[in-house]
Structure 1
């Protein structure tokens, strides 16, 4: 009976996720200015905040049935959806306050917003008077944010039956919200690749750029890599966390504890100088009762809030454009790329070139990893 029930629960979980992933980006050429100064970063940021606020407001007008239909689900967890919406509004308000600081330099999208209520009101009527210079951006931006919001609300609607990065399970988990304004952390998952692959090229590129990031490695892939030769040089100057022994959900896997132990031991043995005590759960899925074990291993869950979606059909440039749009929206956060795939490096190259003069900063991996 227990086996049958477990199988049924698994099938229901799969059914809830049956709809295909919606990979969505935004063509940054539709924005008429380069983000090549701190003030112009703020202009674009204010615009994205208000555009997203508009679709967030629109989603609150949907009743439960309409929301269920829109997200393509049989049922939704309204409590989590409302909590995620509330947290999004709080982040938008904090972000807009930061973005307003340069209004004396450039007043575009600077409105008399002095409270959360003002922001909600302004967002609800946004796009009525943006001017002809920005008119070609308005509707494509609205479409992008509508699809991006659906992506996030769908994860919220399934939580905690299907856990994801959209919500924390406890205050001990990390995400990008604790960073300072304009600060971003680079993280990479799914590696390492075999020698000479995209993991090597990306790590070397970061060293040339005098940047660092956290590479969340899979234990079995690191084992295969070390069996073929030394691995110490691969992640020199970078940080290494763990993603488990295999790339599979750690929420229902009976061997999840052993997965963490084995991968942690492998990294600590092979890469002691690069190791940081962080676990990036594949698909963002982890157990609600796993905090005690995590503490015993001196590990913390490290989530992300800006997903490049470079593991799908988006081109490298489209993936980077998605990341930049979300950087403008949230103004801080943890970015996730896949170093196991070749698109990550050209996407990162485009992103660095496009933000070189924007006044943003890159969080040090060591400082973040041991904080």
Structure 2
């Protein structure tokens, strides 16, 4: 009886090891704590249309001036204030100062773009600023008309909450990595794009058949827009198990595909992060081949990657694709209307960038058509194929097949460290069962 109980206990132990392997741990995602307060704004407080270039520029100038003043105010906070505001125990002042300085530099450039066609006596036109300090000084003297005071107060509150979101990330960087900064020139986030150019990206898919991913794809097709879908390898494999390679590739036809890794784990701390990248790339390459849909882009979950991972991604021919406009659409604190308000406001402030949405949630499908309509011709929605140049295409290893003339069974068996580890654990389990049973 004792021997039998011991065998049962050992069986449970090794089954636990087997079932908790990286291959089957997709439900055990890294715990990411988002902002305790998500910045929200009421765009209707701005009483003028923004659908044309001149209307967009005028609203943009006003928003940038408010943003610049609040940025400078954050720089003057004490250590205690920063810890309280950013909800962190340790503040990396160098990272915080760097981010604020960079944002002020971007704000100056953005204001200059927005001011190219300033009308005489327009209160949003404060004169030429040659450096960020001059911009802040001029913005501090801004005379906001009475009709815009409610807008001003509401925007100030939004900006403060948004800056708290961003500076919390900066305060923790690089101890906790994120999209807030770069490690090398192979990483980008959209800050370098040309004026009024925006790109759409969607993470964490695909959802199950007939789910939210299809809804987002149909919405984009209807509005003649494109986006990069950063897929999780495990979710993609699950969809593939239920359909054919051609059908799955056809689902994304006209859009772009990038890698989000095999599972939604932090690629800064996960021991299997390299295999996660190579395994997902192998799967995507076999489905999409050298088609234009597959882009040489990797987006780390949560933006988290190792500081010294640059050489690895270059060897794989992958750019690290971050973002600078976060919709927070995964967050239960926001609804589609909040997302519209938030993203339109940030687009007026930033004037260019990469928008982050998630196709496993339904909010993007509702919010984006409104943004398309309300901004009209004021902005340029970039073709996703312009992200990730041909010169940076992934390295083709000899063992990889680049054609699509392969059987479904080949896709279901991509030998990696994951399978190796599981096989070892299974053999150990079998050995113990033989010995004790």
TM-score by length of structure 2 reads 0.78
Runs of 4+ in 1 over 6 A off after TM superposition: none
CA distance in structure 1 between the aligned counterparts of 2:139 and 2:280, rounded to whole angstroms? 46
Are the aligned partners of 1:58 and 1:124 in contact in 2 as well (CA < 8 Å)? Answer: no
Q: Aligned with 2:230: secondary structure? A: strand
* Residue 363 in structure 1 maps to residue 382 in structure 2: yes
Query: Whose radius of gyration is greater, 1 or 2?
Result: 2
Q: Distance in 2 between matches of 1:21 and 1:301?
A: 27
Give the 3 Å change call, closer, same or farther, for CA 219–362 of structure 1 in structure 2.
same
Given the alignment, which residue of 135, 140, 144 partners 1:130?
A: 144
CA contact (8 A) 1:232 1:271 kept: yes
What is the CA deviation profile of residues 29-61 of structure 1, one whole-angstrom value per residue up to 9, with x for unaligned ones?
Answer: 111112121111011101110111111111122
Q: What is the CA deviation profile of residues 40-86 of structure 1, one whole-angstrom value per residue up to 9, with x for unaligned ones?
A: 10111011101111111111221223222222221200000000011
Using a 3 Å threshold, how does the CA distance of structure 1 residues 175 and 20 change in structure 2: closer, same or farther? closer
State how far apart, in whole Å, the 1-side matches of 2:35 and 2:383 are.
35
Output the TM-score relative to the length of structure 1: 0.92
Which sits farther off after the overlay, 33-42 or 77-86?
33-42
Match of 1:333 among 353, 357, 362: 353
Question: CA-atom RMSD, angstroms?
Answer: 1.7
- Of 156, 181, 192, 2:195 maps to 181
Partner of residue 92 from structure 1, selected from 102, 107, 111? 107
- 2:183 match: secondary structure: coil
Matched, 1:41 2:56: yes
- The unaligned stretches of length 5 or more in structure 1 are 1-13
Partners of 1:59 and 1:281 in 2: CA distance: 28
The structure-2 alpha-carbon separation of the partners of 1:301 and 1:106, relative to structure 1 and needing over 3 Å to count, comes to farther
**How far did residue 179 of structure 1 move?**
1.0
Q: What does 1:39-118 align with in structure 2 at a 5 Å threshold?
A: 39-104=54-119, 107-116=122-131, 117-118=133-134
Counting only pairs closer than 5 Å after superposition, residues 287-302 of structure 1 correspond to structure 2 as 287-302=306-321
SS of 1:314's equivalent? coil
Post-superposition shift, 1:349?
Answer: 1.1
1:119 aligns with 2:135: yes
What's the offset of the Cα at 1:329? 0.2
Q: How does 1:1-371 map to 2 (within 5 A)?
A: 20-104=35-119, 107-116=122-131, 117-126=133-142, 129-229=143-243, 230-272=247-289, 273=291, 274-312=293-331, 313-357=333-377, 359-370=378-389
- Report the CA distance between 1:208 and its aligned residue: 2.2
C-alpha distance in 1, partners of 2:319/2:37?
A: 29
Output one character per residue of 1:307-337: Cα deviation in whole Å (capped at 9) or x when no partner: 0111112111211221111100010000001
Does the 8 Å CA contact 2:202/2:358 hold for their aligned counterparts? yes
TM-aligned CA distance change 1:188 to 1:18, over 3 Å: closer
Query: Are the equivalent residues in 2 in contact too, given 1:113–1:122 (CA < 8 A)?
Result: no
Secondary structure at the aligned position of 1:95 is classed as: helix
1:39–1:106 contact (8 Å) kept in structure 2: no
Report if aligned partners of 2:223, 2:369 keep a CA contact under 8 Å in 1: no
Q: Which moved more, 1:204-213 or 1:342-351?
A: 204-213
Give, in angstroms, the shift of residue 18 of structure 1.
6.1
1-side partners of 2:56 and 2:266: how far apart? 37
CA-to-partner distance for each residue in 1:175-222, whole Å, 9 max, x for gaps? 102211000010000100111111112112212222111000000000
Are the equivalent residues in 2 in contact too, given 1:181–1:331 (CA < 8 A)? yes
Rounded Cα–Cα distance in structure 2 between residues aligned with 1:250 and 1:225: 23
Partner of 1:7: none
- SS in structure 2 of the partner of residue 231 of structure 1: helix
The one-character-per-residue Cα deviations of 1:203-255 (angstroms, maximum 9, x if unpaired) are 12212222111000000000000111130221010000000001111100000
Superposition deviation, residue 169 in structure 1: 1.2
Distance in 2, matches of 1:245 and 1:19, equals 22
Moved more, 206-215 or 216-225: 206-215
Would the alpha carbon gap of residues 262 and 62 (structure 1) be closer, same or farther in structure 2, given more than 3 Å must change? Answer: same
Query: 104-113 vs 132-141, which deviates more?
Result: 104-113
